[in-house]
Structure 1
Amino acid sequence: MLLLVSLALHASLASGLLTTPGLSARALVGTSPTRLPHPRRAQPAMQLVLPAEGFEGAVSAGAKKAANSASKIFALGIMSGAHIGFGAFLMLSVGGCSPALAAANPGLQKIVLGAFGLPFGLMMTLVTGAELFTGNTALVTAALIEGKVKASELVKSWAASYAGNFVGSLALASLVFAGGTLATAASPVATATLKTSLSFKQAFVRGILCNWLVCMGVYMASMAKDLPGKMVAIWFPISAFVALSLEHSVANMFIIPLGIMSGAAVTWKAFLLKNLIPVTLGNIVGGAGAVAAAYSYAYGKLGK
Structure 2
Amino acid sequence: MAYVAPADFVRKAIDAGEAKVFMATKDAFIRAYMAGAILALAAAFAVTINQSTGQPLVGALLFPVGFSMLYLLGYDLLTGVVVLTPLALLDRRPGVTVGGVLRNWVVVFLGNFAGALTVAVMMAIVFTFGFATEPNAVGKFIAGIGEARTLGYEKYGASGMLTLFVRAMMCNWMVSTGVIGAMLSTSVPGKVIAMWMPITVFFFMTFEHSVVNMFLFPSALLMGGHFSVLDYLIWNEIPTLVGNIVGGIAFTGLMLYATHARTGASRKGEALSPAMRAAE
Please give the range of the TM-score, normalised by the shorter of the 2 chains.
Answer: 0.7 to 0.9
| Greater relative contact order, per chain length (Cα 8 Å cut-off, separation 6+) | 2
CA contact (8 A) 1:145 1:293 kept: no
CA contact (8 A) 2:213 2:237 kept: yes
Residue 180 of structure 1 is matched in structure 2 by 127
Residue 250 of structure 1 is matched in structure 2 by 211
Residue 143 of structure 1 is matched in structure 2 by 88
Residue 61 of structure 2 is matched in structure 1 by 115
1:132 counterpart letter in structure 2: L
1:158/1:95 CA distance change after superposition, 3 Å: same
**Whole-Å separation in 2 of the counterparts to 1:187 and 1:235:** 25
Instruction: Give the Å deviation of 1:89.
Output: 0.7
Q: TM-score, normalised by structure 2?
A: 0.85
1:115 counterpart letter in structure 2: L
Instruction: Give the Å deviation of 1:55.
Output: 0.5
User: How many residue pairs align between the two structures?
Assistant: 249
Instruction: Give the Å deviation of 1:70.
Output: 2.1
Counterparts in 2 of 1:34-73, with a 5 A limit? 47-73=2-28
Unaligned runs of 5+ in 1: 1-45, 102-108
Counterparts in 2 of 1:96-175, with a 5 A limit? 96-98=51-53, 101=54, 109-117=55-63, 119-148=64-93, 149-175=96-122
**Whole-Å separation in 1 of the counterparts to 2:263 and 2:235:** 34
1:303/1:285 CA distance change after superposition, 3 Å: farther
Residue 233 of structure 1 is matched in structure 2 by 194
**Whole-Å separation in 2 of the counterparts to 1:185 and 1:300:** 46
Unaligned runs of 5+ in 2: 129-135, 154-159, 266-280
Instruction: Give the Å deviation of 1:274.
Output: 0.3
Instruction: Give the Å deviation of 1:61.
Output: 1.1
**Whole-Å separation in 2 of the counterparts to 1:281 and 1:218:** 18
Residue 32 of structure 1 is matched in structure 2 by none
**Whole-Å separation in 2 of the counterparts to 1:210 and 1:113:** 17
CA contact (8 A) 2:50 2:59 kept: yes
Deviations 1:26-63, CA, capped at 9 Å, x for gaps = xxxxxxxxxxxxxxxxxxxx611111111001111111
1:177 counterpart letter in structure 2: A
**Whole-Å separation in 2 of the counterparts to 1:179 and 1:189:** 14
Instruction: Give the Å deviation of 1:301.
Output: 4.1
Instruction: Give the secondary structure class of the aligned counterpart of 1:95.
Output: helix
CA contact (8 A) 1:95 1:113 kept: yes
Deviations 1:74-108, CA, capped at 9 Å, x for gaps = 1211111101101101011111333xx3xxxxxxx
CA contact (8 A) 1:48 1:224 kept: yes
Mark the structure with the bigger radius of gyration.
1
Counterparts in 2 of 1:259-298, with a 5 A limit? 259-298=220-259
CA contact (8 A) 1:207 1:247 kept: yes
CA contact (8 A) 2:4 2:183 kept: no
Q: TM-score, normalised by structure 1?
A: 0.78
RMSD: 1.6
**Whole-Å separation in 1 of the counterparts to 2:257 and 2:240:** 24
Deviations 1:141-185, CA, capped at 9 Å, x for gaps = 211111122212211111110111011111110011112286532
Match of 2:164 among 185, 193, 203: 203
Instruction: Give the secondary structure class of the aligned counterpart of 2:76.
Output: coil
